[in-house]
Amino acid sequence: MENKSIFIRKVEFDDAEFILHWENNEENWAVSENSSPYSLFDIISLISELQDVRKAEQGRWMICSKESLFPIGCVDLTGIDFENKTAEVGILIADKEVRRLGFALKTLHLVEEQAKELGLDKLLCSIHSVNIASIELFKKCNYQQLDGKENGIYFFEKWLKK
Q: Where are the alpha helices (DSSP H) in 59-102?
A: none
pLDDT band of 151, cuts 50, 70, 90: confident
Angle at the Cα of 78 (from 88 to 17), degrees rounded to 5?
125
Q: What are phi and psi of 3, to 5 degrees?
A: -135, -160
3-class DSSP state of 158: strand
Closest Cα to residue 103, out of 63, 161, 162?
Answer: 63
Q: What is the pLDDT of residue 143?
A: 96
Q: What is the pLDDT of residue 130?
A: 86
Residue pair 2/110 in contact (Cβ under 8 Å)? The answer is yes
- Paired with 149 in beta bridges are 154
Boundaries of every domain in the chain: 6-159
With a cut of 90, say whether residue 31 has pLDDT above it: no
- Of 38-47, 51-60, 80-89, 92-101, least confident by mean pLDDT is 92-101
Please give the model's pTM, rounded to 2 decimal places: 0.88
With a cut of 60, say whether residue 162 has pLDDT above it: no
Greatest CA span in the chain, whole angstroms?
41
HSE of 93, CA atoms in CB hemisphere, 13 A? 19
pLDDT band of 36, cuts 50, 70, 90: confident
CATH of domain 6-159: 3.40.630.30
Which one-letter amino acid corresponds to residue 59? G
